[in-house]
A and B are shown apart, each in its own frame.
Chain A
């Protein structure tokens, strides 16, 4: 009995920490912009698929390595050229145009943003190539495989961070002063866009794929067990997965509650207008929040793919349900509250795993949604949520 309980608890914490990582992105964006970023779970899916693509590219699977898609270079090249042109425009062009025309032409400032985007894109590609070099340099060594996996994790985080940045700049920022419903609908649109882009042949395709294992399948410890009772196994992947998640969450907590940048994030979240009066660049802080959330979701995607290597196509219902559970975790913990998201993730993950183990996998989601209903009935702001009064 105890064995089964411990095993379930471990599974619950392992899955729960991944939910928590995704829930953080929902909760941070809600805290600052007061809308639910429905495209967030798709960033998680992209994180998983990008990890897969980079692992294949690096030759870490039984399949032979595939060449990097040329369109990535074409797209990045185009952005780089455009960045250079816009930089020149910002420096010299704008001032020379007659004032009457200026309203129709791009205002200065885009060049800097595009330069950031192109440099960021190239460094993500660079990380992916580093993973490839490490992998080819030490084909058979499992330790080096793991190192290559770590680099892929970073590359996926960086790429998804860039995607999050671009989504915020192009889809949400123009709607900063629009009613929240408009932004919400836009978020659903972005979500559909990302899901369906991912199914294209030149992206990830519609066939399910198997993520190569980057960690050796080692059982770290094994407790008890007899002929009738299966032993409790502590897998390396669970420890590394939960460990990475915990490290990231602790780092985030320190960032938000102990640093100047984190203080600025909390100030913007409380009241962006008054934050601007402190000299805080509000738009930059918002961008940073999106990037941070997207990077954490990508990490969750990578870790999830390591634990459950069968990746369904990007629009598959499995992904949608995972994203939904992470969102529930954020709401249960108290939306807008960072520590609440962590707690909610662990709670939802454990509830799901216990229901699976002790009743049946098919009813597990009833408990997840049941928790949501109970929490909403008795503490609508979530476990750690506080009642934020709308101020005029």
Chain B
């Protein structure tokens, strides 16, 4: 479904990605784990078209998209819940969700998708008319995911959904990520919380300073010594 080949991205003179390749197949949850500064968010930004690749290709459903504008990529069916949640704090929860449906015009389909998103995150229903800036961190994360879902994506990119959240909220969010996948949306999940990420994912890639170090089924990686030492905090 998504095929990234030899992707090179640099910020000025600094190379953030040294030619990485990865693949996401229809129906999977794939996770990209790694430390701060490994290039995880950069990868997602390049897929969404927010930054241009220096070299390499990104293909979505067989079509090259690495020269496509970000708003067109959303229309093709790739949504991203960005790093830091990226909600519009000056607008209400309702308006944020309406912005998610910006590219769509069928009011009935939008309304039913909104119902679905709100049933996944009942907290958002309680806060529906509240300013998004007043939500708690966990609620903002829920809003960011719900808003991305309203673009009706076939591929959902999640950038660190667990960042800065209480453990219990993290549990809830990951359970919902599973539900979203079960409902048919393919997911590429970027996480520092390798423990949780490897639990939900089918397959995983380990990114270290711009290079893919390991890849394979999530369960296999979770059992490997190297990952256990470096990312799961076990000795």
Contact = CB atoms under 8 A, between A and B. Distances in A.
A interacts with B: yes
A267 B151 contact: no
A270 interface: yes
A277 B102 contact: no
Contact of B82 (A274, A280, A282): A274
A281 B74 contact: no
Contacts of B71: 276, 278-282
Contacts of B69: 276, 281
Contacts of B70: 276-277, 282
Interface size class of A (residues with CB under 8 A): 10 to 19
Contact of B74 (A260, A263, A270, A278): A278
Contact of B90 (A266, A278, A282): A266
Interface in B67-81: 69-71, 74-75, 79-80
Interface string B123-148: 00000000000000000000000011
Given A278-B100, A278-B102, A279-B102, A266 B79 contact: no
A391 interface: yes
Contacts of A176: none
A266 B88 contact: yes
A282 B69 CA distance: 10
15 contacts: A267-B99, A270-B88, A274-B82, A276-B69, A276-B71, A276-B74, A277-B79, A278-B74, A278-B151, A279-B74, A279-B103, A280-B71, A281-B71, A282-B71, A391-B84
B83 to A, nearest CB: 10
Contacts of A277: 48, 50, 70, 74, 79-80, 82, 86, 148
Given A276-B70, A277-B148, 10 more contacts: A266-B88, A267-B88, A274-B87, A274-B88, A276-B49, A277-B50, A278-B71, A279-B75, A279-B151, A281-B71
Contacts of A267: 88, 91, 99
Interface of A: 260, 263-264, 266-267, 270-271, 273-282, 391
Nearest to B148: A277
B90 A263 contact: no
B208 interface: no
A267 B98 CA distance: 11
Contacts of B151: 278-279
Q: Name, among B71, B86, B95, the residue most crowded by chain A CB atoms within 10 Å (CB to CB).
A: B71
A282 B86 CA distance: 16
Given A276-B50, A276-B70, A281-B69, A271 B86 contact: yes
Nearest to B99: A278
B43 to A, nearest CB: 15
A264 B103 CA distance: 11
A260 B91 CA distance: 13
Interface in B136-167: 147-148, 151
B109 interface: no
A391 B70 CA distance: 21
A14 B199 CA distance: 67
Contacts of A274: 82, 86-88
B90 A270 contact: yes
A267 B79 CA distance: 16
Interface string B23-50: 0000000000000000000000000111
Contacts of B98: 260, 263
B89 interface: yes
Given A277-B70, A280-B71, A263 B95 contact: yes
Nearest to B85: A274
